[in-house]
Amino acid sequence: MTNTDILIIGAGPAGLTAGLYSARAGAKTIIIENMAAGGQINLTPDIANVPGFLEISGQELGLKMLAQAENAGCEIVYDEITEIDFKNKTIKAYENTIKYKALIIAGGCRPRELGIPREQDFIGGGIHFCGLCDGAFYKGKNIVVVGGGNHAVEEAIYLSDIAKSVTMVVDADKFKAQETLIKQLGKKAKVHFKSSITEITGDTKITGVVLKDKTKIATDGIFVAIGRAPNTELYKGKLDLSKDGYIVVDFQMQTSIQGVFAAGDIIQKRVRQVVTACADGSIAGSTAATYIKLMEN
């Protein structure tokens, strides 16, 4: 078993910033991550709204934040948590058991799926959630992007330089993306507003989709960008959650359990951006470090 002052779940912007602040405050800090440092920003090709950078890729920003947290003294553990015991302040993962004095949950969100028949058969092989990761497989092919927010429009812009054609399927009557992104999109994609995919055609590979108005679109792949769901399965029935499943915190990022804090996209809040995740993380890291000092005195 490993002991630490502060354990942080998730190495996205919130978790890495929390680690930076808690480690610089003198607390032994471990960050546990089940995928890659940087979290969801790894799926964003270009970020232009983070102070200090005119433009930077999500992967590059994630690596810079990771290096900064490690330089401050954070230890990064790559493992997946299987059980959490708030009473005994212990988490169990596949290869590690860690006991903490204070916990910061910054596990972020995961992409929402379409929820249509046969979707699971094609995820990773025809249905994707990251243009930067999988777009190269569709060079010179036809693709569909589902969604009308910032992420969806960014995906369409990026994929338009790779694919033969890009068609967007938007469930609303207009885009919800920022105007600058809509202008960049221009006529790079054909758009079906007030629509959704109801059916996938093809046997072993996707050949097309059918929309709710029965329109048929030939496509080789689908990129889904319809929002995210919080990774809060481990905390249901243990922490106070919103009706949408997000963790409820106060202004100090304190959850319904003393000594357990949360930050970033996993908490209930209005704006989910890199800068707000970092702000949450700075508060959580500072508050957790102060909490430990008060408990020890």
Residues classed as catalytic: 130, 133-134
Length of the chain: 297
Q: What is the residue type of 46?
A: D
**Helix segments in 25-122, DSSP class H:** 58-72, 119-122
**Cβ within 8 Å of residue 243, ≥6 positions away:** none
Q: Work out the burial of residue 33: count CB atoms within 10 Å of its CB; fewer than 13 is exposed, 13-18 middle, 19 or more buried.
A: buried
Q: How far apart are CA 52 and CA 85, in angstroms?
A: 40
DSSP class per residue in 224-285: E-S-EEE--GGGTTTS-B-TTSPBP--TT-B-SSTTEEE-GGGB--S---HHHHHHHHHHHH
Instruction: Report CA Rg, the chain.
Output: 21
Q: How far apart are CA 134 and CA 150, in angstroms?
A: 19
